[in-house]
Structure 1
Amino acid sequence: MNVYRRGSRIWFLSVCVFVVIILLFYLKQQSPPPTLEPLPGTYQYFRERDFYSKTHKLGAVSHCDTRFALDHALGNDEIRSTLKGLLASYATTMRELDTETWLAHGTLLGWYWNRKLMPWDTDIDVQMPAKDIAKLAVEYNMTEFVYPLPKTKSSRRYLLDINPHYSIVSFRDVANKIDGRWIDQTNGKFIDITAIHLDEVDLVSGPLTAMFCKDGHRYEKQDIYPLEQSDFEGVEVKVPAKSDKILREEYGARSLTNTRFHWYELFRPF
């Protein structure tokens, strides 16, 4: 009888140890990667005021530049019209300045699905080559541009602001992942601009094909180039050559097939 009890106790303890090991392994897999310490000598340049949505129709947070943010959250319609104005003014201005730029991240996902902003989007993301960010920093930084709003008789002022840390090419510069912003001075909504760099490590192994930005995203050169001309919210834009591959790697394969998300039903009309 004592042998039986001892055996049962050993079996029970073994099961407990096994469960604890499995639990620790699971928690390790689910835990976020360790946060890097800020790069010495840097500080966070861009700062936002966050407005939290009380409706499921929009994303959880709407960011506005602290210098121009209002004292209240923008309504859904105002956010949409502001984003469309930002997009049209930015795309037109970058063409006039002979600067290469293309849609990225969630904005590119909206383009993939229906050539429009996702219904819940509260911001716009674009990318551009590092050389063009440098050009804007030297020649046009802190320039204000006046642009007429689409389908209205009014106009708005937009500020091109390049992060002074744009030339730091390091994943450790965690406070300055955004290299520039195109800001609506009426309410502080903005377009995030991130620079794409060539990976110098490839200089040793062969032709330069790897590209990356400071927020940790990596690409093959042929995934982005040659850029394709397209339409987004009625505005002429450019998108990467292999947008579907980029989106799968960033958001997962289901992002291109799952038609229900965030209380909305998605469809591709083409």
Structure 2
Amino acid sequence: MKLKYLFFVLFSFSALMDSFAQNEREFLDNRIMYTKYYLADFFNDSTKWSWELDVVYRRQSELGEGNFWSEPLRLSVRPWIAYQFTKMTRVSFNPVGMFFSAPRYPLESDLERPFERELRTTLQINNYAYYGRVNFTHRLRFESRWRGIDNPDGPNHNFRVRYRLRTRIPINTDYFYTNNSLYVSQYSEIHVEFGKDYGTNYFSQNRNYLGLGYRFWEWTRLELGYIAQFNTRGNNYQIDFSRGPMFYIFMDIVSRNQRRFNYSF
């Protein structure tokens, strides 16, 4: 069953690339810098319920220039409540997340487009699997989006489904969750959007990442990598090709990090 997910992602990505090849498209260069900060913990030592918080901050270049820190792109904050059904499966729910987004700026006409505030509700399912030393994560997200909440006529509402396949391969240990593990992380994610207020670019986004990570304090990880992302514009002709570095900080179980930190003194 796990291989079917892999085949699904590879087929979908192949179909996207084939679509680009068969039709004339205009790819718009957008240099970016992505960062993400994630905290999580169980409510106590005997429960499967936990909380999570992620903060995303992104910058971008202007008109295809190389300075990816030049202009703002995204700031978002999402609190979650989660339940660990099994050791390998977690379901998380974000009631309301707040997103502040700038348009991407590869074209001069984009400079006149306004910033957008968005509210989003998300249901997320993470399922983990192992094949030898390789850690696979299948992540499925269902999002309800209220975009442009400051619009005089009210926000535009649509739905989005996202699927991500991620692998993490330890380099100096045999198990990803071993302390002081150095590991390689890769993922590919597809986004499909629909709804009465949405246009026709249903296959709206593909995101691909390759990075190097390090685990310390047992439950804290840092990652630095490179991301390449395709965003289809509403005209189904222009594609924002965003690329640049990405930086992560994860604290998967905050309290256990703190205990280990205290014991070191």
Q: What band does the TM-score fall into relative to the shorter chain?
A: under 0.3
Select the structure that is richer in helix. Answer: 1
* RCO higher in structure (CA 8 A, sep ≥6): 1
If the length of structure 2 is used for normalisation, what is the TM-score? Answer: 0.26
Select the structure that is richer in strand. Answer: 2
Choose 1 or 2 for highest CA Rg.
1
